[in-house]
Every structure is written in structure tokens, then in C-alpha cells.
A and B are shown apart, each in its own frame.
Chain A
Amino acid sequence: MLQTSQTASRRHAVVSETRHLLFTVTPGAAWIIVFLVLPSVYLMAVAFMTNGPYGLPQLPLSLNSFEQLAGVGFLGWSPGNLYTLLRSLWQTIVATGLVVLVAYPIAYYITTCRARWRPIMLLLVVVPSWTNQVIRTFGWMNLLAPGTPLSNLAEILGLISPNMGLYPSNFAVTLGLVYNFLPFMVLPLYAAFEKLDTAQVEAAQDLYAKPVRAFWNAVFPQTLPGLLAGVVLVAIPAFGMYVIPELLGGGKAMMLGNLVATQFSGGSNWPLGAAGAILMLIATFIGLFAMRRIGKRLGGGEEVVI
């Protein structure tokens, strides 16, 4: 008798726990499913449809959009889209590399400063990224336009042809990307440097390791998880960047994000744009997956991202 009432109350507890879970989680989960998962699934479906009049997708199903993305058009094959893809990849790699080169010494330098200055220094690095992306990019347009001191300097040095200005150009896009993503790299690297086990460095010095060797064997491996987190935080959004190439690049520096966006505004070819979006998603998930694998191997299951 007692036992049955106990199981009954336990069952009651399980039911009420489940009801509690549903009550708290359902609104948010439903919101994300309805307003993000469904739209993304729809977008993926669009990639396999045909482009109708006014750019809206139509049946029948086809792989036309992917052929177009690879450059096949009415007039045969053209390399335009392929160049855009390669340019996105190239810009991402170069910008990420440069961001690492700048962020690594900066993150190290902040850890060597007095403890009370460190939060302020980090804040100083992060604050520019709180301002709107469009405004920051607009600032660079002002700086790099023809006739500005920087452009004149580049002209005197013979880096650009006269009256061209540093923007619009591929260089301006790279610069914009580095500027935009620098804080994303400094923060995880700083966290890694702060946790750095100095005993290893001292051990290396005691064993008469040269500074360079001590760095590569005792310091660098310890900062690798932070570095990887930074690479993911920089490279994934950089690959899909839209605002910076649109404003700083001009027509000849288009990236995948611009190719996709154009299909949904001016150009109006939804299936082609959706195919580009799928490519971007694949790149994103490959990046996240690789990151998790490497992170697990390095940090013993330590959560690296965020």
C-alpha cells in the first residue's frame, strides 16, 4: 500500500518535472524552430528549385542553381563566381593570419601589465567593436579614399597608381576584416595567456633552452586552445562577411556574402543565392567540427568555444 503510493508520488514527480521542462523550454525552443530552423530548411529547399520570373523560386526541382554557382550560364562557363569563392577563401586566410600576428603580442603584452590595468586595456581593445559595423567601415572609407593622407603616402611610395586611392580595393577589404575581427582573437588568447603555467617556462629556462625554443615548446602549446578558438571566431564570420567587401571592396573585391545577398536584392535569383548560402553553411560546420576535434585532442574535452 505504502509502496504503491510511493511509486504514484514518484510518477507524479516525474510528470511534474517533465511539465516543468516543457513549460520553461517550449517558448524559446519553439521560437527558434519556427523563426530560424524552418526558414533555414526552406532556404535549403530553395537551392534545389528553379529560378522563376521575378527571382522567386519555382518547381521543378533541379540542380541548376549549383551549376550557376560553379559558373555555368547561358553563354557557357565563366569563372566569375569561382573567382569570388576563391577570393573569399583567400581573404579569410590572409585576414585570419594577420589578426593572429597582431593579436598574439597584444594579448601577451596585456598579461604582463599590472593587474589593475588589464581590464581597462581589454576594454580599450573591445570598445571599437561595440560601435556599429557600418560606422566603423565608413571610418575606413574616410581614411582610405583618394586624396587622404594615407592614400597620398601610398602614392608617394609607389604602392598605388596616382589618384586611385587605397579604397576601393582588395587591400582595403583585408584591412577592414583585420580591424573588425581583432578583438575576437585578443580575448581568447588573453584568456589562454592568463592561465599560462609559468613553471613550464621556468623549467625550459633552467634546462638552458634558447628563448625561441622555450617559446615554441613551453608557451605556444599552452596558448593553442585559445588561438584555435580565436581562429574559429574570426574565420567563420569572415568567410561570410557582407558589409566590409560591399563598402570597401567595390565591384572587383566581391566575396561570397555579396554574391548571396545580391541574389536576394538586386539580382534576384533566389535559388542561386540559396546555393551560395548552403556552401557557407557547409564551410561553417566544417570549421566548427574541425575545431571540436582538435580542441578535444588538445584540451582533453575542455569546451573551447565561448
Chain B
Amino acid sequence: MRKRTLKRSSLRRALTAFWWLTLIFLYLPLAVVVLFSFNASNSAASMTGLSLRWYHQLLGNEQIMAAFGNTLILALCSSVIALVIGCLIGYGMYRHRHRKLGWLIVLIYLPIVLPDIVFGISEMAFFVQFHRLTGLLQPGLGTMVIAHVTFQIPFVALIVYSRFVGLDPTLFEAAKDLYATPAKRVVHFMLPTIKPALISAFFLSFTLSVDDFVISFFTAGPESATLPIYIWGAIKKGVSPEINAIATLMIGAVAMAAAISLLFNRKRQS
């Protein structure tokens, strides 16, 4: 018996060590980016001292500021559109879940399972040809919003759908008795009950949009570079230390989002 616990504890120690090694593996590349963003020299191989010069340069760089604006506009517009459309489709899926809606499920999963690159190039090919034929939909922020909404809809729909499934079905009957018109039911019953789902769907859509590179890259026009596209271009042209600074800011935003989600989790638990 004693031997067994000994063996157990040594296994446990090995696992703990492995866990910390994996964490180092996961955070090392991000840490390096953050560290070099404060580097005094523009060497990518050695730290020579601390400075904020790359952050100062960032503020003066019009291209980066434009890319930042584009990223926000794109994420905001696409998330709002996807929220409305995805919410409707999620409710439709719930209300009519007893019908045979196999085709709809396939349609909704399609944007999720399609490889990014296939998604991106088919949209690009489509938009280019459409523009040649009609003169509409010139590649730019507009086409990017369309593409982003396409991959956001399924996530919104699935989140809203699962929220409805989790509700007591008799609630709907009660709401029917309580509020006379469908419009009142929507405003006073449905929207308030699915509010948490709507909030998390909006944030997920927003994050997916900011996080996306491949699909944006192929649907963008010359004037509509987002931050990831700008960073990609800068890397390809030859590494400039400013990238570290802008990347650090984006990592900071993610860290903040993680902290917020942790707080929410805590609150729900207690």
C-alpha cells in the first residue's frame, strides 16, 4: 500500500512539472513579444535597455492608426449584423425544432467546418467576379463585413439556440397568456431572458472578428487593412520593432478579456 502511494505521488510530481513546462511553452512566445516591445535598440536578437520609443512611434504612424480604426469598425458592424440575423435564426431553430431542419443545420455548420483558406478564397473569387460584372461590392470594408458576418452567424445562432433549449418550455405559454401581442412578448419576455446569451454572443463575434486574419486578408481591399493584416505586411517586409509594440497592446486586450471572463465566472459560482 505504501509503495503505491509513493508511486502515485511521484507520478503527480511529474505531472505538475509537465504542467508548468507546458505553461512556459504556451506563454514564452507572447512574453518575448512583450519584452522586445520595450527594447531600446531595434535589434530583434538582444535586449539593450528599456524604452517606450516604439510606443511613441506607434502613435505617430498613420497607417497603424487607420488599421486600428478599421479593425474596430469591422468588428463592431459585423457583430451587430450577425447578432440580429443569428438571433432570429437561433430562435427559429428552437421554435421549429420538431420539424425536419437537417438542411438548416448543415447550412449553419458549413461556415464552421469550412477551412479558413477555402472560405477566404471563395469569397474573394466571388466578390472579384461580382464586381467585374456589376460594379458593386468593390473589395474593401464592405466585403470584409459581409465575410465576417458569414462566419459569425453560426456562433450567435448556436449560443441563442442553446439558451432557449435550456429554458422551461412552459415559460413560453405563460408569456403568451401574459402579453397580448407578439411584439410585446419579444420586448418584455424574450429579449430579457436571453440577454446573457446575447451578450456572450456579441463578445464572441467581436473576438472572432478581431482574431481573424485569413478571411480578412483575402476579402480586404487596398485601403481596408486591419491590424492583423498590417502586422502581416510588416513581418513580410522585414521585421520592424513597432510590431512588437502593437502586438503587445493586442495581447494586453486579450489578457483583459481573460480577467473579465474570470471575474464573471467567479460571480456566477458564488
Residues of A within 8 A of B (CB): 17, 20-21, 23-25, 27-29, 31-33, 35-40, 42-43, 46, 102, 105-106, 108-109, 112, 119-121, 123-125, 127-128, 130-136, 138-143, 145, 147-148, 179, 182, 236-237, 239-240, 242-243, 247, 257, 260-261, 264, 270, 273-274, 277, 280-281, 284, 288, 306
Contacts and interface: CB of A to CB of B under 8 A. Distances in A.
B150 interface: yes
A132 B250 contact: yes
B235 A141 contact: yes
Q: Binding site of B, secondary structure by majority: helix, strand, loop or mixed?
A: helix
Interface in B118-164: 118-119, 121-126, 129, 146-147, 149-150, 153, 157-158
Given A24-B89, A237-B115, 6 more contacts: A25-B93, A29-B107, A32-B111, A138-B33, A182-B22, A270-B125
Contacts of B19: 106, 109, 121
A102 B235 CA distance: 30
A106 B25 CA distance: 13
B247 interface: yes
Contacts of A42: 122, 125-126, 129
B88 A236 contact: no
A141 B36 CA distance: 13
B77 interface: no
Given A28-B89, A43-B121, A127-B255, A284 B213 contact: no
Contacts of B254: 127, 130-131
Interface stretch (B54-62, B165-173, B256-264): B256-264
7 contacts: A21-B96, A31-B153, A134-B228, A138-B235, A145-B44, A257-B115, A264-B124
Contacts of B157: 28
Interface residues of B, number: 78
Chain A interface helix/strand/loop/mixed: helix
A143 B92 contact: no
Nearest to A139: B29
A169 to B, nearest CB: 16
A125 B85 CA distance: 32
A135 B247 contact: yes
A35 B123 contact: yes
B116 to A, nearest CB: 7
B50 interface: no
Given A38-B126, A142-B44, A25 B88 contact: yes
Closest 6 CB pairs of A and B: A139-B29, A24-B92, A240-B115, A28-B89, A39-B126, A39-B122
B25 A264 contact: no
A108 B118 CA distance: 35
B86 A105 contact: no
A184 B235 CA distance: 26
A147 B47 CA distance: 13
B107 A37 contact: yes
B213 A243 contact: yes
